[in-house]
Amino acid sequence: MYREYQRRIAACEEEMQWLMKGLETKADSAATLPPPTDSVKKCKVMPPARAIALHEEAYRILGVDLTTIPGISVLHVQSILAESGGDISKFRSDGAFSSWMGLCPDNDISGGNARQTRRAQSDHCRRA
């Protein structure tokens, strides 16, 4: 069963690579790719070479390196690409993007004091 699941995962990753190649390039061809962050190099879910390749492809599609945001890994970026199709300009502000990602705190304030602080969970963050 393990080998079968590994084969299916590999087939799914190949399909995702093929679909990502078809997305529009937004990175400036003259701009140099920023070096991968430690979160990319130390990704525990996939081999480092695959994580770096995903980082490069995401930068090509988005034109920005989202892994420089604390808490965002290459798998989160892959989820963002799947959900938004590579068009993050549809968000009206940085705050709207952070809220959509579930990175904004959900403060329960009563009488001017925060009773509870937690992050609001969103569906796409739970899947990543």
pLDDT tens profile 26-38: 877 766 777 777 7
Q: How confident is the model at residue 5 (pLDDT cuts 50, 70, 90)?
A: very high
Rounded to an integer, what distance in angstroms lies between the CA atom of residue 102 and that of residue 34?
25
Beta bridge partners of 116: 108
Average pLDDT rounded to a whole number, residues 113-118: 61
Residue 104 and residue 98 in contact, taking contact as beta carbons nearer than 8 Å = yes
Helices 74-84 and 48-62 cross at an angle (nearest 10°) of: 40
- Quick check: 128 pLDDT over 70? no
Find the mean pLDDT for residues 79-93: 81
Q: How confident is the model at residue 120 (pLDDT cuts 50, 70, 90)?
A: low
What pLDDT is stored for residue 119 in this prediction? 52
